[in-house]
Structure 1
């Protein structure tokens, strides 16, 4: 690594600045390993404490992550500007079947072209363009959102943000300050872990199973001082878990006195009922349009208590202002189109079939896997590096679990969004071989 980029500096600040410059330039790629504390201290002729302090500064800023015996590495996503080279530093090698990307199947997304033409005609018929004073959530969109989420409290306030991660960013900033502890699902969404680190918050591990956060895990996180709890209600990433009715009843009284954020990113694609867990004085609920309608439709509904939503809207006004009404009108028409609704239901059934088929095929080979909802399957493994390498040699690209974990055991994530049913058996055989060290079928 040092042959490609030489870290310099004689103080903790200078060393951390040097690493940050390497990340910003793309010389230190996402996932790149940094030298050990003692090795870099020897190379720079400084004390190990100086390097340790530099690495701590980088961790506090969300630029690096410590992954146990895998050492210190550059985060997959960092809060500093990255060059195009850095973003493309870890492409899936040619010839591999890509099961690492978390995107929905583009063939199952609605065709936006006719919807956009209708929106363009509607805008052309207006007397004038939307101005600064007129910008903001469309009342008819918020009214329809309220109708589409009857499980939420009747007195909930509603607004719009630019996707689930944007909403999470704004919600955490609205209620927490650097140093506050946040209970996060473990394993959980990698981008959220990066965001928590970037805001200077302290993640507290909250183990999950296929019914959502465990009661014991939630209790332990609260006992550790968590001021907020983030829960994925359905299609949890990476495990596919979903909060069940019984688990929701158990969690609600526990979480009554903390800020609860619920992320229902799968929305209409989810094939299980919604069971919210927030019910205290401060809560928020997010539903993004990305998975059902397309990642480029940067629009998410945010519901919550009046004070939290007001804080988010006030801060939004000082920055981006509002979510584009062009996107809002597009989403409104998608929601109102019964043909689009039928297509979303069909897409949900397709994902369910693909995911269930893979979990069943793995079970027949005595491989434990979770994937109750959504587009991902999580497989616990004894050694992530060996499993990922074995599957790569068999022709598959999968995601190592360390990017999703804080304290739980190793695993790998497989995204089944584009998986064909005739690919299931060969893939399951390759996964089983990766866990046992036996020969795997080659797909290339």
Structure 2
């Protein structure tokens, strides 16, 4: 593209004006896909502005998926603006109708969920409904969750699921270009969320006990505005943070001002105790606890509790949209949490999920494929070659999630994530499944155990 021609199309040489002018040109088709744009310095010189002004405009266009920059071709137009997509979450693979066993999504077994009818009826009959007063959390739900919260929370909020809670916290904490530290590997949707905020992701390596102190220490040198991690039931690896590891992490976080976001994704289904950094840093820790997998995904409920200022920022942002979470759904969950029969049912589900996970892990270990972790609804399986393993499993009617979805960049080792919540309880069927997984993982050879 001729730099002088482009400069003449820009009436307002501010960063916003440059981005708006180019957006109009792309949207109307005057500038088409694959057009190579002028350099930042070249356009800045033609417009008589700083290179930083043009770079800011380019950043805005890049965030909306209209341009891409690479070293060989420079900055290239991709097309009109589009809605950002959760690429990792959507990259599950499509293998046709032959797949009979779906181990892709760690969704709960519906047979183990508590019935909702009585709780919904009780909540629907409560007083104070159909009021436009914006209630961040109902008194009943707060009374149900507060006694079991691992630290004294000064702010409370009910939101539409765990991922929404984490997304809103990151969105209200980080500005584009800010840095957020997060354990790696981690949830695919968490990485999608962080990329959507425009933040720079700083990976923190993990082992069986959670984030490694040395890795967190290095990440903190970049002065991240937030540290996001899963204290237990970690997806995809099944890590659970111990008291000793939490103390090591706390010593590193002590002098920092970083907001600590704890994602308790499976909540009461975890077999590990909750070890929270909020016990040491209640004024800058926020815990997001989801109840979707334990009490029902259609409730779409998670509770956010912790640092008052961080929770308040989320409340303010929500006031632009839904404003508050349905009081009927909040009090339905409160009723379930207070029901002794439901508590027994959730405890039973926790035992079943743990048994299914452990049995498959043992079957794979017997075949030379050793997995890690001790908690959660999935197994992190080391494989010799990820694409080949996916094809082998698909040929046998089995779908799993590629491990590359759960890391920020190229991983030194290949993995698959296998959801275990809905595994068969038939020993013969489980043995046959393990045979196929081991075949896909090893390719007929040996592989190193997962770190």
Q: TM-score range by the shorter chain?
A: 0.7 to 0.9
Whole-Å separation in 2 of the counterparts to 1:63 and 1:369: 41
Distance 1:97 1:63, change over 3 A: farther
**Equivalent position to 2:337, from 328, 335, 338:** 335
Q: How far did residue 194 of structure 1 move?
A: 0.6
Preserved CA contact (<8 Å) 2:384 2:443: no
Counterpart residue number, 1:96? 100
Distance 1:420 1:317, change over 3 A: same
Whole-Å separation in 2 of the counterparts to 1:390 and 1:185: 30
Counterpart residue number, 2:389? 387
Counterpart residue number, 1:116? 120
Counterpart residue number, 2:219? 221
Tell me the SS of whatever aligns to 1:235.
Answer: coil
Tell me the SS of whatever aligns to 2:297.
Answer: coil
Q: How far did residue 156 of structure 1 move?
A: 3.3
Preserved CA contact (<8 Å) 2:140 2:331: no
Counterpart residue number, 1:171? 169
Whole-Å separation in 1 of the counterparts to 2:67 and 2:419: 25
Deviations 1:64-123 (A, max 9, x none): 999xxxxxxx9xxx95479xxx99984763333101122111111111122222333x14
Q: How far did residue 140 of structure 1 move?
A: 2.6
Counterpart residue number, 1:202? 200
Tell me the SS of whatever aligns to 1:206.
Answer: strand
Note the aligned Cα RMSD (angstroms).
3.4
Tell me the SS of whatever aligns to 1:318.
Answer: coil
Distance 1:340 1:313, change over 3 A: same
Preserved CA contact (<8 Å) 1:96 1:392: no
Counterpart residue number, 1:249? 247
**Equivalent position to 2:315, from 313, 316, 323:** 313
Whole-Å separation in 2 of the counterparts to 1:428 and 1:397: 14
User: 1:350-429 alignment to 2 at 5 Å?
Assistant: 350-407=352-409, 408=411, 409-421=413-425, 422=427, 423-429=429-435
Distance 1:356 1:81, change over 3 A: closer
Preserved CA contact (<8 Å) 2:205 2:212: yes
Whole-Å separation in 2 of the counterparts to 1:17 and 1:382: 45
Deviations 1:103-161 (A, max 9, x none): 111111111122222333x14xx4x6431126442123212211122x21x35332211
Deviations 1:341-396 (A, max 9, x none): 00000000001001111111111122121241111000122321111111111221
Please give the TM-score of this superposition, normalised by the length of structure 1.
Answer: 0.78
2:308 corresponds to 1:290: no
* Range that drifts further, 194-203 or 246-255: 246-255
Deviations 1:8-32 (A, max 9, x none): xxxx989x989x99xxxxxxxxxxx
Tell me the SS of whatever aligns to 1:117.
Answer: helix
Deviations 1:9-63 (A, max 9, x none): xxx989x989x99xxxxxxxxxxxxxxxxxxx9x95748989xx99987874589
Please give the TM-score of this superposition, normalised by the length of structure 2.
Answer: 0.77
Tell me the SS of whatever aligns to 2:131.
Answer: coil
Q: How far did residue 215 of structure 1 move?
A: 1.3
Preserved CA contact (<8 Å) 1:241 1:371: yes
Counterpart residue number, 1:233? 231
Q: How far did residue 302 of structure 1 move?
A: 0.7
Preserved CA contact (<8 Å) 2:19 2:58: no
2:146 corresponds to 1:142: no
Whole-Å separation in 1 of the counterparts to 2:58 and 2:401: 25
Q: How many residues align?
A: 385
Preserved CA contact (<8 Å) 2:229 2:261: yes
* Range that drifts further, 368-377 or 261-270: 368-377
Whole-Å separation in 2 of the counterparts to 1:393 and 1:57: 43
Counterpart residue number, 1:4? none
Tell me the SS of whatever aligns to 1:216.
Answer: helix
Tell me the SS of whatever aligns to 2:236.
Answer: coil
Preserved CA contact (<8 Å) 1:285 1:303: yes
Tell me the SS of whatever aligns to 2:272.
Answer: coil
Q: How far did residue 221 of structure 1 move?
A: 1.4
Higher CA-based Rg: 2
Flag structure 1 segments of 5+ consecutive residues without an equivalent: 1-11, 22-40, 67-73, 440-444
